[in-house]
Amino acid sequence: MKKDGRVRVCIDFRKLNKESMPSSFPLPHMDLLVDKTAGHEMLSIMDGFSGYNQIKLAEEDQEKTSFTTPWGTYCYVVMPFGLKLGQELIRAMTAIYHDMMHDCMEVYVDDILGKSKTGEGHPEALQRVLERSRKSQLRTPISLFGLSSGK
């Protein structure tokens, strides 16, 4: 229970994760992301904090996420946080932004780093990223805007 009285659901997916086929999609290498960001004057961070909750589960897999509460039995229709299939989020993000990665943005799990070589070009770079997010129906609020790369 949250302080404001809302219920927080916490599901232990360890058994389901043991039975799940591991994803072969690789995590991005942090060294590569750092190298690809070097030399960019302006950065902004977009938090896809609910990225997992934006990927629909296949209908036949929804029942596997079912859980019971005092109010009834429910199942997820979107990917919940905690499933080992989190790399599928990275696969989805890569599919959405593939032609922009290493140019005006980088993706790491559910976070997006908008970047530009100059401060003047930063709004245009962010507009491209946010427009793609909108077309893909992916919510990506900007949490830190216009950081200089020295920070």
Q: Which helix (H) or strand (E) holds 126?
A: helix 122-135
For the segment 114-121, the average pLDDT, to the nearest whole number, is 92
For the segment 119-139, the average pLDDT, to the nearest whole number, is 90
Inside any domain, residue 7: no
Q: What is this structure's pTM? A: 0.72
**pLDDT value of residue 55:** 80
For the segment 68-78, the average pLDDT, to the nearest whole number, is 93
Q: Are 40 and 121 in contact (CB under 8 A)?
A: no
**pLDDT value of residue 111:** 86
Inside any domain, residue 116: yes
For the segment 92-107, the average pLDDT, to the nearest whole number, is 92
CA distances 110 to 19, 34, 36, 54, Å, are: 24, 17, 18, 11
Q: Taking the C-alpha atoms of 136, 139, 140 and 142 in order, what is their torsion angle to the nearest 10 degrees? A: 140
Q: Show the domain range for 44.
A: 26-55+82-148
What does residue 102 show for φ and ψ, rounded to 5 degrees?
A: 70, 5
**pLDDT value of residue 150:** 59
Inside any domain, residue 77: no
Inside any domain, residue 144: yes
For the segment 26-37, the average pLDDT, to the nearest whole number, is 88
Q: Are 109 and 33 in contact (CB under 8 A)?
A: no
Rg over alpha carbons for the chain, rounded to the nearest Å, is 18
Inside any domain, residue 37: yes
State the residue for tokens 């530009």: 116
Which has more pLDDT, 9 or 102? 102
**pLDDT value of residue 86:** 67
Three-state secondary-structure class, residue 121:
coil
Q: Is the pLDDT of residue 87 over 80?
A: no
Inside any domain, residue 141: yes
